Amino acid sequence: MLLQFVRSLRRQRQMDPLHVTMTGVRMGERFIQVGCDDAALLGGLAAKVGLSGNVAVAVFDEESAERARKVGVSIGALVDVRTVPPGAWTFDSGTTDMVVIDDTRGTFARAAAADRRAALAEALRVLRTGGRVEVVERVAVGGLLGGAITRPEGYAVEQELSAAGFKPVRLLAEQQGIRFVEGLRGL
């Protein structure tokens, strides 16, 4: 099993340790990732949570679900992948330590505004008191196309998290073309 894990790490793009560190996911936590734009992000976070934790993925299409399933197989981890509507997740209320929204390709930002609001309401519902949501999004870093991800005009994830009821909301960092924005579920 360990040999399989080591081989799988060689085959897939390695997760930047900064990304795992910035999310703050810890061993033993109950964690849900929304979307699977970046398989390496899910792989790094699932490995960090370890066997003592619980990893689930909520996706809105079968392509993302298949990508997430492959991550679980490639790293030898149990990943509970559920294809769900944005506003009707099948996870229990108040049982999750952290929700990570993978917006590294802009998929979440480009979703219909009503679907984003519904997904954020579900994230708030499944989080325990004191739990946190973190959005990981790619930003332009220069070059011909700048690595830019198309987002709707006027879209700001900080505003959407605040409107959904997360308090406080803050930009944790913007490093290596990735932004990390966090919101907390209060009382």
DSSP 111-157: S-HHHHHHHHHHHHHHEEEEEEEEEEEE---SSSSTT-----TT--H
What average pLDDT does this structure show over 39-44? 89
For residue 178, the SS3 value is strand
pTM of this prediction? 0.85
Tell me the domains of the chain and their CATH numbers.
Answer: 2-184 (3.40.50.150)
Mean pLDDT of 39-64: 89
pLDDT of 4 above 80: no
Angle at 121 between CA 58 and CA 169, to 5 degrees: 100
Average pLDDT in the chain: 85
Q: Which has more confidence, 1 or 66?
A: 66
Which pLDDT tens digit goes with each residue over 145-170? 555 566 778 889 999 999 999 999 99
Q: Dihedrals φ, ψ of 184, to 5°?
A: -110, 150
d(CA 12, CA 28): 24
**Is residue 15 predicted with pLDDT exceeding 60?**
no
Phi, psi of 113 (to 5 degrees): -55, -40
